[in-house]
Each structure stands twice: as structure tokens, then as C-alpha cells.
């Protein structure tokens, strides 16, 4: 059998890899900040900057986000991976996941109610613009109101060096640390000079 001979494997949500993120949110009283894990999140527009996250109605976070129209998408670094998984298998209805995981809720830039996770390298503050009821999940379509990043991720010119954040990706039910850099946007047509600078090629 040739390497690229195909087998029909059925219809499923097989798009992989995807980012895995920690969504933090709180109710209007801000008494119980919460975190849930989401793999079904993605960038959906550049101008204005927008993203979406699909959340089942049964999640406690669904209730909080619906109440305030706010949430924060926190990127997951290697050191947060275990907490990320935990926040995806336990509900804020039963416990304070910030406390259990030793994480710190901090005021989210640009938002009134939601908290960000201090230990996350990059936190994206979002305001809900629309909700699409798709079936199993409701898709929260949101404007990005602010982004904060750990200062160590900025170079001396203030540019974000996200490759230093040790980010985690999710592939078919498993977490992976991002690894070897293979190229960059447009590298297939870049000059030898640019390749040498950006890829360290001789």
C-alpha cells in the first residue's frame, strides 16, 4: 500500500493541531473567578481583531460569560499545561480552580468583570459581540479589547518573541510543546540573506 493511499475514516472534528487555551471569566459580582479549558478557539478576523470560542451550554463558564459578555483567553505555556488540563476536567460549580491550581487572578486589561491569569504568558481580553447557537456548542464571537504579555517576551525593540513562551498545542487529544522552527511567513520565497538572518542558515 502506497504512503498516500486513502481510507475514509468517517466524519468527525478532526482538524488538528489546535491551540489549547485557558478561558478565565467571572460573574458580575466578581466573587468567583473561574477558568475553563478550550480547544475550540480561533482567530476569525484581523480588522477589527476578533476571535471565537465554542462552549457548551452546560459549562459554568458559559453562564458567567453570558452574564457579563466578557472573557479572557490565556495562552498556555509548558509550566501551565497540567493546570490547563485540570481546568478542563473539573467545574467551577464545584471548586475554585484558581485556588486549587495555585493561580493568581489579576484585573484584565480593558474589561470590567473578567480576570486574567497572571501566570499565563499572554492574556487576550475579549468582549462578546455575537453568539451563534451551532448545536452542541455556542460560538462566542468576540472583539479583542486588549492584550497583555510577560515583559520577558519583548525584545529591545518591543517586538513580541512568542517563540520564547514555550507554548503548548493540542493534537488529537494530547498536549505537545511546540518544537523545531521550520520556517516563517513567506520563507518559501525569502532571499538567502533573510533566511540566514531569520533561520540562522549559512
Ligand X SMILES: Cc1cc2nc3c(=O)[nH]c(=O)nc-3n(C[C@H](O)[C@H](O)[C@H](O)COP(=O)(O)O)c2cc1C
Binding site for ligand X (CB under 6 A): 20, 34, 36-40, 54-56, 59-61, 85, 88-93, 137, 170
Number of helices (H), then strands (E), in the chain = 4, 12
- For ligand X, the closer of residues 61 and 77 by Cβ is 61
Q: Which residues of 125-135 are buried (b: 16+ CB within 10 A; e: fewer)?
A: bbbbeebeeee
Instruction: Please identify, using beta-carbon distances, which residue of 92 and 121 lies nearer to ligand X.
Output: 92
Inter-CA distances, 49 with 71, 89, 116, 143, Å:
15, 30, 19, 6
Smallest distance, Å, CB 200 to ligand X? 33
Give least dist CB 143 to ligand X, A: 19
In whole angstroms, how close is the CB of 125 to ligand X at the nearest point? 18
* Nearest CB to ligand X, comparing residues 124 and 160: 124
Tell me the three cell numbers of residue 49.
481583531
101: helix, strand or coil:
coil
What span, in angstroms and rounded, lies between the C-alpha atoms of 165 and 73?
15
Q: How far apart are CA 111 and CA 131, in angstroms?
A: 19
Task: Give the nearest distance from C-beta 84 to ligand X in angstroms.
Answer: 7
Closer CB to ligand X, 115 or 170, in the complex: 170
- Nearer to ligand X by Cβ, of 55 and 108: the residue is 55
Amino acid at each position: 500500500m502506497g504512503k498516500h493511499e486513502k481510507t475514509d475514516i468517517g466524519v468527525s472534528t478532526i482538524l488538528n493541531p489546535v491551540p489549547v487555551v485557558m478561558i478565565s471569566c467571572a460573574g458580575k459580582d466578581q466573587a468567583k473567578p473561574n477558568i475553563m479549558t478550550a480547544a475550540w478557539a480561533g482567530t476569525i478576523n484581523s480588522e477589527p481583531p476578533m476571535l471565537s470560542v465554542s462552549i457548551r451550554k452546560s459549562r459554568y463558564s458559559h453562564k458567567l460569560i453570558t452574564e457579563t459578555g466578557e472573557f479572557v483567553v490565556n495562552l498556555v505555556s509548558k509550566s501551565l499545561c497540567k493546570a490547563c488540563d485540570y481546568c478542563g476536567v473539573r467545574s467551577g460549580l464545584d471548586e475554585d480552580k484558581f485556588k486549587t491550581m495555585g493561580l493568581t487572578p489579576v484585573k484584565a486589561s480593558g474589561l470590567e468583570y473578567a480576570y486574567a491569569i497572571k501566570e499565563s504568558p499572554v492574556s487576550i481580553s475579549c468582549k462578546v459581540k455575537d453568539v451563534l447557537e451551532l448545536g452542541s456548542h455556542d460560538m462566542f464571537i468576540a472583539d479583542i479589547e486588549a492584550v497583555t504579555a510577560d515583559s520577558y517576551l519583548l525584545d529591545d525593540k518591543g517586538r513580541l518573541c512568542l517563540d520564547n513562551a514555550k507554548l503548548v498545542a493540542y493534537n488529537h487529544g494530547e498536549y505537545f510543546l511546540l518544537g523545531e522552527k521550520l520556517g516563517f511567513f513567506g520563507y518559501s520565497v525569502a532571499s538567502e540573506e533573510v533566511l540566514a538572518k531569520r533561520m540562522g542558515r549559512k
